[in-house]
Amino acid sequence: MNKLGEMVKTADWKSEKHVPVIEAPDAVKAGELFNVSVVVGKEIAHPNTTEHHIAWVAVHFIPEGSKVSYEIGRFEFSAHGQAAAGPNLGPIHTDGCVVTRVKISVSGILCATAYCNIHGLWESDKAVCVQ
């Protein structure tokens, strides 16, 4: 039987619509707030229908040399066009994109995971250096 870690997929975000793309500075000052955005479907749009959608994105920080990750946030997307009238007939659709502000005191890795209700769990990461 597979373990969860074996089921996580990665790919080049320019050729795959499921990869969460992290946008953040390469370098920051210790203790200063900066924006971290994560978008699923940056180059190739991901569908957002009742049948096929990004359900959530989670963002973690792994300090350099640490064996522990710290969850920055978990963002659920609940509106995918569903309605009593039928699938995709609802008045609102959310998109797999989040922006949050963080501050860090040490260099490390930002890690984003995204869950597609059909294609499973996807991951990417980005190094951020504290100057």
Residues with a known catalytic role: 16-18, 46, 52, 116, 119
Closest C-alpha among 111, 82, 76 to residue 95? 76
Torsion of CA 75, 76, 77, 78, to 10 degrees: -150
Tell me how crowded residue 73 is: count the other CB atoms within 10 A of its CB: 13
**If phi over 0 gives left and psi between -120 and 50 gives alpha, with beta otherwise, what is residue 42?**
alpha
